[in-house]
Amino acid sequence: MATTADDVRRIALALPGAIEKLAWGMPTFRLEERGRIFASLDDDDRVMGVKCPKEERAELIAAEPDKFFLREGHDDHYAWLRVRLEALEGDDELRAILLDSWRQAAPRKLLDAHPELKDPQG
């Protein structure tokens, strides 16, 4: 079954401190504290934007170009990556991507309050 915007919303809002707020006419998922955005849905609900270190983007896109891409002229200067929802392989992959983005946006205090969500590799 294809991943939907409702799946993104359900998983993103289950993360600690997450709220949904409209910005630029699109749903964004952010942390209450300071409002840092960790995910967004494009206006067609078929693409999600997430935080991704610039140095990792090219490798992800090269490995899975049907899944990951940049919106040229918009994502070029930001640590941001686009994900085609239909290319995801279910809730586990969606949760892993959203959790990674959440970790990048979360302040240390929030990360420390949820050790079960810390990155086991870092």
The C-alpha atoms of residue 94 and residue 67 are separated, in whole angstroms, by: 12
| Six-digit token string for 1 | 């079954």
Residue 33 pLDDT: 61
- State pTM to two decimals: 0.93
| Six-digit token string for 118 | 């810390």
Q: Is the pLDDT of residue 35 over 90?
A: no
| Six-digit token string for 44 | 């067609």
Residue 50 pLDDT: 97
- What are the pLDDT digits (tens) for 75-96? 888 899 999 999 999 999 999 9
